[in-house]
Structure 1
Amino acid sequence: MKETSIDKLHIFITIFIVSLIMSIQGPIFTPYAALLGASSVMIGIMLSASQVTDLTGNLMVGPLVDRFGKRLFITIPLFISAFLYMAHGFILSSTTLLILRSLNSFVLAFLMPTTFALISGYAKNARQQGKNMAIIGILGMFANIFAPLIGGKLGATIGYANTYIIIGLALLVIAVYAFIFLRERQYIAVNKNSTSVHLLSVFKNPQLLLVYLTGFAIMYIHGVIIYEVPYLTVEKGLSTASTGKLFSIMGIGSLVTLSFFFLQRLDAIKRMMFGLFTLCISLAVLINGFLSLTVFLFIMGICFGLVMPAAATAVTSAVQSNEHGRAFGVMSAIYSLGMIASSFLTSIIRQIISPYFIAFLVGMLMLIIIGLIKFNTPKTVRT
């Protein structure tokens, strides 16, 4: 039991450090791309292209993880990504930045589905799954609180290029740590109602479909924020430290929700629906000018803290343990698809119509579809 706890601790440490390091680039990517001569449309293409390669990696990693194990697909991507991040600091054109970011996104796409599959092997039941996913969420939110502040400060102090070099060196260190200390463990839990997981079978599993639709909506809205908030640095002449603080506020909101472990006892699907509904209402209030961006980001963080662990828990209960890699791979691919759609569309329409309004429409449409699926699904199937 003590050995298992230590192994889980190494996983949590790795997740936290990796999340912290990678989130540092949040406030600096857009201004760095603009500095290299990228237009707003080009920046949107960069974000979308990186999500396309991320989606490709997500779809590839699931079967590989289930077949060859998880540790391999955490350590190798970390080593490769470290060198790709360092290369960011030596480029001279936005085209090269596009290529490097796309390659890096493909490599990093292997990380999160593999990590979720790895930690799911340390739980014997749904309650433990929920707790583990909540802890991962808390660690990620701590990273999201401090990383934008660190990234904004580094970008303003030592420059964007040097910040990327530091990110790469830090990832190299954690890659060595992961290689030495990460261990695999798998409790076999059979779910007779489970089905094989691939893109087509998603539509045959109501619970997975609910999770993936919610994930698409949440990540679409998140993509709009990822694009719009850093762009304030370019349009309004704000410092990267200022936009870093805005992202940190969202992290604080998520931390508030994730700290309430008793929420893990509530139905995962209902938590997801409530979180998405609250986020849509907040968007509507923001669009009408009755809510500041700062308050909205805090509420958005709360909704993220409610939805993301619930989604991960719902996935683990919908499929057999030996198919977690595929399930989380498809889930990450859906997340990437939401980011692709929002980044590309936002870059095109932002001068014509509010991206926040389109995000509200997407969220409400997905919520309606989710409600129809849930209430038209027999209770025995949902159970």
Structure 2
Amino acid sequence: MEKMYILIFLFIISFIMRIGTPIFTPYAAAFGATSVLIGLILGFTSFSDLTGNLIAGPLVDRFGKKIFITIPLFTSGALFIAHGLASNSKQLFILHGLNGFALAFLIPAAIAMLSGYARNSREQGKNIAINGILTTIAGMVAPFLGGKMADVIGYSNTYFIIGAAILATALFATFLITERQFIITHKKKIMPTITKSNTFFSAPLLTSYLIGFAVMYIHGVVIFEVPYLTVEEGLSPSVTGKLFSFLSLGAFITLFMFFINRYDPLKRLLVGLLGMCLSLYGIFSLSLSLPLMLFLTGIFFGLVMPAMATVVTENVPRENYGKAFGIMSAVYSLGMILSSILTGIIREYISPYFIAFLIGMLVVAIVGYTRLRLNQIMKPKGDFY
């Protein structure tokens, strides 16, 4: 029952947060914010999120997860309401950054708590996959709903509703979510402390960090560029909301392919990133249908995210999940920081999709070459191709 509450909670949070995805950019532009300033706002938000991730990990492991779920939710709800009361872009800059810092504590704690409701890696993968399906469903519906709400009741009132919904969710988490306590025993022959700290930077984790950075850089470009169509082409927020729904629909389809979880997560990461790069190529070079390319991007994005969580849970002790997911979230934030700032600066001169393609393919080449060399080194000398 407790695991079901966690899954419902994560679904609600994802749904509420994604309502705001298509509306922030046009809302900031309505206050006179340029593309560069919007990029700086999103970049600063990701930076504050990164800072919070690094702080959150050790604290979650030490003091428990529930407190770092409920307090950030109450804070975020108040900040979203304040978004609706903002009167200029400077205020949005501050509010959005503070909100990023508050939410930085939420995700590592929630994912670590969900991962704890499993007895083995297969159950962990199943829990992550179920959460992925639920949050992807939210991603299919919420952006479209957010765009429609902005069309009907305006941006400010939409933020009021988002804030109120988050405060209600915080109450739900306070009374219904309980944290499972684990008794961790150690044998007398315990590994040195330095060995434990190195588990966060083992070869599989470093590879996943690098791919995670590239994936979130691509995601950051999409998050910036799609809503900006409301400014450049005068599209309705509901139209950009539909485009985000195509992205989530692709991820939804992949997440339902449970047999994929049987394959090596690092291979899934590499294939997923390569597929996202090829989808970007279809956008900036072949000028293919944007909804179709976003749909394909979502398919490969859905391949990547569960594999990320699996790499963490397979390479880090259970008692260190909070710190591990904090580091992973910080890497995600770093990708979002660079993509948001760089996209806002260069988009008048060169396609941000092209730069994201180059970064993604560079990571594919580095990881592919590294794995190939490693396989050659480990291959017995007497073997031939």
TM-score by length of 2: 0.93
* Match status 1:286 vs 2:283: yes
Q: In 2, are the aligned partners of 1:210 and 1:374 still within 8 Å (CA)?
A: no
Q: In 2, are the aligned partners of 1:127 and 1:265 still within 8 Å (CA)?
A: no
* Match status 1:365 vs 2:380: no
How many residues get paired?
373
- Structure 1 or 2, whichever has the larger Rg, is 2
Residue 376 of structure 1: CA displacement?
Answer: 3.8
Cα distance in structure 2, aligned partners of 1:146 and 1:48: 26
Cα distance in structure 1, aligned partners of 2:286 and 2:361: 19
Cα distance in structure 1, aligned partners of 2:132 and 2:197: 24
SS in 1 for 2:85: coil
Q: In 2, are the aligned partners of 1:52 and 1:336 still within 8 Å (CA)?
A: yes
Cα distance in structure 2, aligned partners of 1:361 and 1:189: 47
Residues 138-149 of structure 1: matches in 2 within 5 Å? 138-149=133-144
Q: In 2, are the aligned partners of 1:189 and 1:320 still within 8 Å (CA)?
A: no
Cα distance in structure 2, aligned partners of 1:196 and 1:84: 38
Match among 347, 350, 353 for residue 353 of structure 1: 350
Match among 249, 262, 266 for residue 265 of structure 1: 262
Q: Which residue of 2 aligns with 1:133?
A: 128
SS in 2 for 1:340: helix
Match among 285, 293, 304 for residue 307 of structure 1: 304
Q: Which residue of 1 aligns with 2:196?
A: 196
* Match status 1:229 vs 2:226: yes
Residues 39-50 of structure 1: matches in 2 within 5 Å? 39-50=34-45
Cα distance in structure 1, aligned partners of 2:209 and 2:240: 30
Classify 1:32/1:58 alpha carbon distance in 2 versus 1 (closer, same or farther; 3 Å): same
Q: Which residue of 2 aligns with 1:3?
A: none
Cα distance in structure 2, aligned partners of 1:211 and 1:189: 29
Cα distance in structure 2, aligned partners of 1:375 and 1:183: 45
Q: Which residue of 1 aligns with 2:340?
A: 343
Amino acid at match of 2:283: L
Cα distance in structure 2, aligned partners of 1:146 and 1:379: 47
Classify 1:185/1:374 alpha carbon distance in 2 versus 1 (closer, same or farther; 3 Å): farther
Q: Which residue of 2 aligns with 1:330?
A: 327
Residue 311 of structure 1: CA displacement?
Answer: 0.5
Q: In 2, are the aligned partners of 1:197 and 1:327 still within 8 Å (CA)?
A: no
Q: Which residue of 1 aligns with 2:315?
A: 318
Identity %: 54
Cα distance in structure 1, aligned partners of 2:169 and 2:94: 24
Amino acid at match of 2:203: P
Q: Which residue of 1 aligns with 2:172?
A: 177
Classify 1:23/1:338 alpha carbon distance in 2 versus 1 (closer, same or farther; 3 Å): same
SS in 2 for 1:332: helix
Cα distance in structure 1, aligned partners of 2:351 and 2:324: 34
Q: In 1, are the aligned partners of 2:10 and 2:131 still within 8 Å (CA)?
A: yes
SS in 1 for 2:244: helix
SS in 2 for 1:331: helix
* Match status 1:86 vs 2:81: yes
Classify 1:278/1:61 alpha carbon distance in 2 versus 1 (closer, same or farther; 3 Å): same
Deviations 1:115-153 (A, max 9, x none): 111011111111111111111111111111111011001
Superposition RMSD on alpha carbons, in Å?
Answer: 2.0
Cα distance in structure 2, aligned partners of 1:178 and 1:285: 42
Amino acid at match of 2:277: C
Q: In 2, are the aligned partners of 1:151 and 1:163 still within 8 Å (CA)?
A: yes
Q: In 1, are the aligned partners of 2:279 and 2:294 still within 8 Å (CA)?
A: no
Amino acid at match of 2:196: S
Residues 86-105 of structure 1: matches in 2 within 5 Å? 86-105=81-100
Cα distance in structure 2, aligned partners of 1:85 and 1:62: 24
TM-score by length of 1: 0.93
